[in-house]
Amino acid sequence: MAYRLYEDESHASLYSKFRPTYPPKVRQVISEFIKKNGGGFQKMVDVACGSGQGTFHMADLFKQVCGIDISQEQVHQALEKSKQLNIKNVEFCVGTAEKLPFADESVDLVTCAEALHWFHETTFYSEVDRILKHGGCLAAYGYGHVEAKHENVQPLIRHFLKDTLKGCWADRIKHIDNCYAELNLPYEKLERYDFYSEEQRRLPDLIGYMRSSAAYRRYSELHPGNIVLDELEQQLHKELGSDIPKEKIMIHIQFPMFVLICQKE
Ligand SMILES: C[S@@+](CC[C@H](N)C(=O)[O-])C[C@H]1O[C@@H](n2cnc3c(N)ncnc32)[C@H](O)[C@@H]1O
């Protein structure tokens, strides 16, 4: 495995708190693709599930759901959330995308959300092919870099992501930059969907999201004690209304979203 990110306890907890969940459109396009191509809804496996961002929103479509992640801490966060949400048909386990602990031809849908670019693709695809039933589907989806819908704020966010964190992004992040345009999924029957997901976020939560990025973790290793995110928060606060407490400032943001889904014959 080439990349080991998002795995320690503090990172997993930041991740769980600040990472976005997925808009209803993701589940809609996936379920429509499965239905129109005659796939089933018995068992779904969410690979690299993190703290369940891509697992829980799909759970009621399937009889049985399993989230799997290489990180014990991420799985711990997912189990905690599962208890809070009281979802009964979802289980989680620790494991890798390259050696999936499921029987041959036993799964209707494999998903991986914001994660395929971290895997050893060919090994993952052969595991997917082994565990999928005939007619089963693989969905790989995710989101690109956050954008602010405020004209005066977007350049500050862009500067932080592109210039301040320059050199701290893993090379595979290029696949997120181009929304998986260069990743080839393994089956010919394939569709892709692109759209934006918009939301209003509190300023401190947007800063929390930035803090949860692997690139900022890398930046902090190189610059311990840095205050770049505090500075960004102050700048955004100034632009958006410094007379209002920062906890009350809401920022209109969007993420470019992409969903690729394909079907095994
Ligand atoms: C960016 S997070 C995505 C988490 C979640 N799916 C989401 O949508 O937010 C990437 C996740 O992939 C996991 N991961 C990375 N490489 C993995 C691998 N080879 N097998 C299983 N999990 C992996 C990490 O532990 C992390 O939880």
Q: What is the pLDDT of residues 49-88, one digit of tens each?
A: 999 999 999 999 999 999 999 999 999 999 999 999 999 9
Please give the average per-residue pLDDT across 252-264, as a whole number.
97
Residue 213 Cβ < 6 Å to ligand 1: no
User: What's this model's pTM, rounded to 2 decimal places?
Assistant: 0.93
SS3 at position 113? strand
User: Distance from the CA of 68 to the center of ligand 1, in angstroms?
Assistant: 9
Other beta carbons less than 10 A from residue 167's beta carbon: 9
- Percent of the chain at pLDDT exceeding 70: 97
- What is the structure's pLDDT at 1? 43
Q: Is 97 in the pocket of ligand 1 (CB under 6 A)?
A: yes
pLDDT band at 124 (very low <50, low <70, confident <90, very high): very high
> What confidence score (pLDDT) does residue 13 get?
82
Q: How confident is the model at residue 5 (pLDDT cuts 50, 70, 90)?
A: low
So what's the pLDDT on residue 4?
61
Nearest CA to ligand 1 atom 5: 50
Whole-number pLDDT of residue 8: 65
Buried b / exposed e over 238-259, threshold 16 CB at 10 Å, is ebbeeeeebeebebebbbbbbb
Q: Taking residues 16-21, what's their average pLDDT? A: 88
Ligand 1 centroid distance, CA of 124 (Å):
13
CB of 51 within 6 A of ligand 1: the answer is no
* Nearest residue to 50 via CA among 77, 23, 30, 27: 77
Of 53, 67, 141, 65, nearest in space to 108 by CA: 65
Residue 168, ligand 1, Cβ within 6 A:
no
What's the whole-number mean pLDDT along residues 193-222?
Answer: 95
pLDDT in tens, 209-226: 999 999 999 999 999 999
H-helix or E-strand containing 141?
strand 132-143
CA atoms within 13 A on the CB side of 155: 3
What's the CA gap between 243 and 249, in Å, rounded? 10
Atom of ligand 1 nearest to the CA of 46: 6
Q: Tell whether the model's pLDDT for residue 171 goes beyond 80.
A: yes
Domains of the chain: 9-263 (3.40.50.150)
Name the phi and psi angles at 133, rounded to 5: -70, 165
- Percent of the chain exceeding pLDDT 90 equals 91
Residue 204 has pLDDT above 80, yes or no: yes
In this prediction, residue 15 has a pLDDT band, given cuts at 50, 70 and 90, of confident
| Residue pointed to by tokens 């701290």 | 168
Contact call for residues 160 and 232 (beta carbons, < 8 A): yes
pLDDT tens sequence across 89-104: 999 999 999 999 999 9
Mean pLDDT in residue range 142-170 = 96
Assigned token pair, 261: 């889904």
Residues with Cβ within 8 Å of 125's Cβ and at least 6 positions away in sequence, in order, are 185, 186
Question: Which of 71, 76, 175 to probe ligand 1 with, by most ligand atoms within 8 A of CB?
Answer: 71
